[in-house]
Amino acid sequence: MPSGGVVGPKAKQKRCEGSRTDGLPCGSFALRGGAYCLAHSPDQAETAQAARSKGAAAANKRTRANTPDQLDKLNEMVVLGVLSGKIPPSTANAFFKGVGAQQRLHADTILLRRIVALERRARELDHRHE
């Protein structure tokens, strides 16, 4: 097997000669016929900047779930995405596992706050009876 575990057409494709900001080799695949990936190619600087801008704009438009109603809507969108074939079931499974973990953490946090408040109140009552 080729280095990096890559098989198929990409196994023979050249790696980018650029360096990351930490000084390590980039590691991305070079553009066909070139020595650099899109991010490091001097000839593609404008294209790379446009792609970064597009990615930032997309990140700002991502659906967020800050309330239970928003989470319900997001869950519905994921289910519909799976049913339509736009979202792989494995991706949806990972999403729902993450949501479940988040919900358990939230419930645990609420319980912990309630316990702390009850213990504080119990101490206050104990001090009154001394």
Q: Enumerate the domain spans of the chain.
A: 13-60, 64-128
For the chain, the 3-state helix, strand and coil shares in percent, each to the nearest 5, are 65, 5, 30
* Local structure of 62: helix, strand or coil: coil
The amino acid at 3: S
- What is the end-to-end Cα distance of the chain in Å, rounded? 76
Tally of CB atoms within 10 A around 62? 6
Which residue type does 111 have?
Answer: L
Task: Write out the chain's pLDDT in tens, 130 residues.
Answer: 444 555 555 557 789 999 888 989 988 888 888 898 878 888 877 877 777 776 666 555 566 777 888 888 888 999 998 999 998 999 999 999 998 998 899 899 999 999 999 999 999 998 887 7
Q: How far apart are CA 29 and CA 2, in angstroms?
A: 14
